[in-house]
Amino acid sequence: MLFEGPEPGTLVQYFKDDASAFNNQKRGIITGKGVLNNRISEFLMTRLAEIGIPTHFMRRLNMREQLVREVEIIPIGVVVRNLAAGSLSTRLGIPEGTLLPRSIIEYYLKKDELGDPLVTEEHITAFSWASTHDLDEIVQIALRVNDFLSGLFLGVNLRLVDFKLEFGRLYTEDDLRIVIADEISPENCRLWDTRTNEKMDKDRFRQDLGKVEEAYQEVARRLGILPESGPADLKGPRTLQ
């Protein structure tokens, strides 16, 4: 959810506990999800900025909000896949967990009423959703993010199976840059434990596997962003007197 920000050109991104899947056909609440994803996305966007990958993230404001740059959203969800899972497995009959011969990038048109259909570069450029130049930059960024995040997650025994990025155009005085928008968290990544293959992401909600909040907490803990004293510290402001 986005709100007007404190200065022109900024927005406040609010992280809810509401969860939905399968184009809103499945709905629920994952307690604490918003707080955890706010932290996880802050952490990952900050690490990406450190290696020169531009994002819309400016800073985290509080438990559930972050300040982001206002961008012109490109209406395409960009999915990067390393192992077969989800819609790729269903659509092509490739068993879940199959290592793909190379990382595969897919584009989905962001249109709820159509269920975010898969589209090709041809559709994207013909309908001017993005230019060839935009797409070149998007692919370069998506592959760098994949390499970097795959390594980062592997370091904490999580396999980055696939993930979805959103991109926006950021206009500055004399420049136009493509930057990563939205969030990066277990909400839009598939993360499997390298030792047990346990799913540690939104598939726990999609597939009714239970312990969704615990999985998100475990991802945060492994990344070193859950306070030592445990998740109680992340619940919200405390009354001191």
What are the residues binding ligand 5GP (CB under 6 A)?
77, 79, 85-88, 116, 162-164, 187-190, 202
Q: Which is nearer to ligand 5GP, 102 or 238 (CB)?
A: 102
Distance, in Å, from the CA atom of 64 to the CA atom of 35, rounded to the nearest integer, reads 5
Q: Which is nearer to ligand 5GP, 23 or 46 (CB)?
A: 23
Among 206, 224, 204, 223, CA closest to 214: 204
Neighbouring CB atoms inside 10 A of 233's CB total 12
Instruction: Give least dist CB 54 to ligand 5GP, A.
Output: 21
Neighbouring CB atoms inside 10 A of 93's CB total 8
- The answer to whether residues 54 and 170 touch, using CB atoms and an 8 Å cutoff, is yes
Instruction: Give least dist CB 106 to ligand 5GP, A.
Output: 7
Instruction: Give least dist CB 146 to ligand 5GP, A.
Output: 12
Q: Which is nearer to ligand 5GP, 202 or 204 (CB)?
A: 202
Q: Which is nearer to ligand 5GP, 56 or 190 (CB)?
A: 190
Instruction: Give least dist CB 79 to ligand 5GP, A.
Output: 5
Q: Which is nearer to ligand 5GP, 9 or 117 (CB)?
A: 117
The residue at minimum Cβ distance from ligand 5GP is: 86
Instruction: Give least dist CB 227 to ligand 5GP, A.
Output: 26
Instruction: Give least dist CB 217 to ligand 5GP, A.
Output: 18
Q: Which is nearer to ligand 5GP, 19 or 53 (CB)?
A: 19
